[in-house]
Amino acid sequence: MAHQCSCGDTHNDAELGVEYNLYQKIDIRNVECLNEYEENSGITVFKSWENRLDKENFVESDVDDELLFNIPFTGNIKLKGLIIIGGENNLHPNKVKLYKNRPRMTFDDLSIEPEQEFELCVDANGIHEYSPKIVKFSSVHHLSLHFTGIDRRERIKIYYIGLKGEWLPAHRHGVTICSYELQPQMSDYPKENIENIDRTIS
């Protein structure tokens, strides 16, 4: 089915539902959302494509119009697409900045240059895709998203964050413990060799 968002283009959502499944690869218990008005409401915006239009679950900012998500994954992802459904009217976020592999970011860390940023359009149907540069987001184990509002409004609201891409399990390297002896020990030699050495010395 075709829909139109505020960007002026018409989008078809026929195949998007199959592709937007990376929410299943998020380490959801370790997701952080800073400046959320209601505790643990940030994790509710990562949901299935079929539930993206659900308005019962959302996150709203607290003291100002900023939200910062720290999103760890259960492996490595190649991020290929991003969809945002924001709040109505002035509650809609205006911009998002993407940071790669910087766990536990805080608002104090936002002076760092993001890998990419997008101006957000109003997209009530969740069909406008933002395309990250794959060369920058080809090996991501942690993604931080910083949202800000329009003209520094008091609050912003988000209903859905959709992520599209590929997932690979994390490589786990075993630890090999080796011990080295600087000098050979007498116990390393057979008993008969030790007796021969003693005879030679005497």
Q: Is residue 193 part of a domain?
A: no
Q: Is 127:1 a contact under the CB 8 Å cutoff?
A: no
Which residue range(s) make up the domain with 26? 2-172
**What does the mean pLDDT of the chain come to?**
85
**Count of domains for the chain:** 1
Average confidence (pLDDT) over 173-190: 52
Between the alpha carbon of residue 110 and those of residues 6, 40, 117, the distances in Å are: 28, 22, 12
pLDDT tens, position by position, 97-109? 999 999 999 999 9
Q: Is the pLDDT of residue 157 over 80?
A: yes
Alpha-carbon distance of 82 to 111, in angstroms, equals: 23
Model pTM score: 0.79
Q: For residue 152, what is the domain's CATH number?
A: 2.60.120.470
Residue 199: the pLDDT is 55
Average confidence (pLDDT) over 156-163: 97
Residue 27: the pLDDT is 97
**Nearest partner of 64 among 131, 129, 155, judged by Cα:** 155
